[in-house]
Amino acid sequence: MQISEDSIRIQSINQWLPHKSKPLIISGPCSAENREQVLATAKRLYATGVASAFRSGLWKPRTRPGAFEGHGENALHWLVEVKEKYGFPLVVEVATPRHIEACLKAGIDIFWIGARTSVNPFSVQELAEALKGVDVPVMVKNPLNPDLSLWVGVIERFILSGITKIAAIHRGFNTWEKSRFRNDPLWDIPVKLKSIFPKLPILCDPSHIAGRRDLLLEVAQKALLLDMEGFMIETHFDPDNALTDAAQQITPEKLQELVSKLNIPVHSEDNPCRDIDHLRNKIDDLDSSLVTILSKRMEMVKEIAKIKKDCKMTVLQINRWNSIVEARTEEAMKLGLNENFVRNMLDLIHKESIDVQSKIIS
Ligand code: PEP
Ligand code: MN
């Protein structure tokens, strides 16, 4: 597949969604509930001056039937009024070719693909085909489950359809593990996405990650430190009485307050600060020693495997391993390292060691 060549044509987000100040903010209610709610939220958002585009859900994918599912096409003209009054480009979730058609007719500027749609390659392919030859920007939320390839696949389908104005939105993942968040951020997944598509703009959706107002700032700050371009974040003129996602929505004024509290870093290529070069050289030397030590360790593992084979010993010697983990973790913690980090690193080494030994023995 020529996807990596095609992905080179991905445009920088400033070319299609110009924003004067960093971070880029797309904001507005989770769903368009009525004309008053949409217009009052937009008016107050406009007054804050922090947002560059207005979002709203019109077709709401709900877990159970009977909940408020949005006003669909009937709400489009409220958004059009927002654009006429305040000049915001409009951003709407589309899940079917019919949604696309209605939005294009109404003049919606940017589409986003929701997390419940990006899990389904059939739906995504239909949407990508409906957008062939249409020069409209598309933002792709991560699928519900923590599957990087699935997310990459959605982006590839749009790129192959000729879309070059494309961005990803990180909104967290459904996991079995209990977490403080509504959707576990699993930050390493968007970081890996960035290494696959270095030119792809990535936004963060702190609202759906956090699920509650008091965690928004923490999530938003982390996203900026990971070099994300900005946020899609939900605002509502009366969050407590929102029909959807009430616990995570904030007023436009609270959004302005949140932005003022952020420490806003500058992308390294635009940042003239060079004081870190000599430290980076030292880190390179240390990393190189780490790799050398790991390779020496693996040579020992291979020697041990031969002996285990001759003596018909099992590869897994759990008591020996547990004592290694305890001793090294205690030592590492005394040196100020994080316990979880050390345990995870040792687990990785152990897994590789078992694989290498098993290969030698069988
Ligand atoms: C939303 O942004 O309102 C939404 C439904 O998001 P997600 O698809 O991330 O759940
Ligand atoms: Mn929502």
Q: Is 70 in the pocket of ligand 1 (CB under 6 A)?
A: no
pTM of the model: 0.90
Q: Is 83 in the pocket of ligand 1 (CB under 6 A)?
A: no
Q: What percent of the chain has pLDDT over 90?
A: 91
Q: Is 165 in the pocket of ligand 1 (CB under 6 A)?
A: no
Q: Domain coordinates of the chain in residue numbers?
A: 5-261, 275-361
Question: 359, 361, 351: which is closest to 314 by C-alpha?
Answer: 361
Measured CA distances, 187 to 148, 193, 223, 225, 244 (Å): 11, 10, 8, 11, 26
Ligand 1 atom showing the smallest separation from residue 30 Cα: 3
Mutate to test the pocket of ligand 1, among 116, 183, 249 (most ligand atoms within 8 A of CB): 116
Name the architecture of domain 5-261: Alpha-Beta Barrel (3.20)
> For residues 79 and 102, is the Cβ–Cβ distance under 8 A?
no
Question: 204, 259, 258: which is closest to 229 by C-alpha?
Answer: 204
Q: What percent of the chain has pLDDT over 70?
A: 98
pLDDT in tens, 287-326: 999 999 999 999 999 999 999 999 999 999 999 999 999 9
Residue bearing the CA closest to ligand 1, atom 6: 114
Q: How far is the CA of 208 from the centre of ligand 1 (A)?
A: 7
Q: Is 141 in the pocket of ligand 1 (CB under 6 A)?
A: yes
Which pLDDT does position 268 carry in this prediction? 67
Q: Residue 313: what are its φ and ψ, rounded to 5°? A: -95, 155
Is the pLDDT score of 4 beyond 90?
no
Taking each continuous run of H as one helix and of E as one strand, the counts in the chain are: 15, 8
257: which residues sit within 8 A by CB, 6+ positions away? none
DSSP state, 138? Answer: E
Is the pLDDT score of 1 beyond 90?
no
Ligand 1 atom showing the smallest separation from residue 114 Cα: 8
Of the listed ligands, the closest to the CA of 112 is 1
Is the pLDDT score of 111 beyond 90?
yes
pLDDT in tens, 170-201: 999 999 888 999 999 999 999 999 999 999 99
Pair of tokens at residue 220:
């938003």
Under CATH, which number does the domain 275-361 receive?
1.20.59.10
DSSP state, 235? Answer: B
Which pLDDT does position 27 carry in this prediction? 98
Task: Fill in the amino acid letter for 228.
Answer: M
pLDDT in tens, 24-56: 999 999 999 999 999 999 999 999 999 999 999
Backbone torsion region of residue 28, taken as left when φ is above 0, otherwise alpha when ψ lies between -120 and 50, otherwise beta = left
At 337, the pLDDT band (50, 70, 90 cuts) reads very high
Residue bearing the CA closest to ligand 1, atom 10: 115
Is the pLDDT score of 331 beyond 90?
yes
CA–CA gap between residue 182 and residue 179 (Å, rounded): 7
95: which residues sit within 8 A by CB, 6+ positions away? 59, 61, 113, 114, 116, 117, 123, 127
Average pLDDT in the chain: 95
Is the pLDDT score of 266 beyond 90?
no
**Radius of gyration of the chain from its Cα atoms, rounded to whole angstroms:** 24
Question: 70, 136, 139: which is closest to 105 by C-alpha?
Answer: 136
Which pLDDT does position 2 carry in this prediction? 58
Average pLDDT over residues 275-283: 91
Provide the terminal-to-terminal Cα distance of the chain, rounded to the nearest Å. Answer: 37
